[in-house]
């Protein structure tokens, strides 16, 4: 990937994972520039299809575009950082991330945003209603 494009993605995200919002400085692992729609599915390496993602979110997301909404049991698309607004789909409930919509609930589940270790890290860092 072009270094200037990678830098543009990092700057746009202000160093935060665009899925769970943890900051790169608060994570032990280097962040990834994620193809929101993977190249496998025809996604372009272009700014409007790239998002900064922590290792946890990116590895759990993989090439997935959809998942099953835990509330309705229906297949639902995942959150798209370029076209969706985080606050419309998620909120902090203490150190947990709560999905407010089918897209939010599905994304929380597929990306395992509330695994116990991730919740513990957010609690230790004070990521409770940090953006709300």
CB atoms within 10 A of CB 107: 29
Joined together, the tokens standing for residue 58 give 């990116």
Q: How far is CA 35 from CA 7, 24, 42, 123, in A?
A: 15, 18, 10, 29
For the entire predicted model, the pTM comes to: 0.92
* Model confidence band, residue 125 (pLDDT cutoffs 50, 70, 90): confident
Task: Please tell me the number of Cα atoms within 13 Å of 93 on its side-chain side.
Answer: 10
Segment 21-72, tens digit of pLDDT: 999 999 889 999 999 999 999 999 999 999 999 999 999 999 999 999 999 9
The residues spanned by each domain of the chain are 3-125
Query: Angle CA(70)–CA(75)–CA(80) in degrees, nearest 5?
Result: 95
């Amino acid at each position: 990937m072009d270094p200037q494009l990678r830098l543009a993605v990092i700057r746009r995200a202000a160093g935060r994972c665009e899925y769970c919002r943890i900051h790169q400085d608060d994570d032990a692992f280097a962040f990834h520039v994620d193809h929101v729609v993977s190249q496998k599915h025809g996604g372009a390496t272009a700014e409007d299809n790239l998002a900064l993602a922590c290792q946890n979110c990116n590895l759990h997301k993989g090439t997935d575009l959809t998942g099953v909404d835990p509330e309705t049991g229906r297949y639902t698309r995942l959150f798209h950082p370029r076209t969706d607004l985080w606050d419309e789909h998620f909120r902090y409930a203490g150190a947990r991330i709560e999905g407010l919509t089918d897209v939010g609930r599905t994304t929380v589940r597929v990306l395992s945003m509330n695994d116990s270790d991730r919740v513990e890290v957010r609690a230790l860092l004070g990521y409770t209603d940090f953006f709300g």
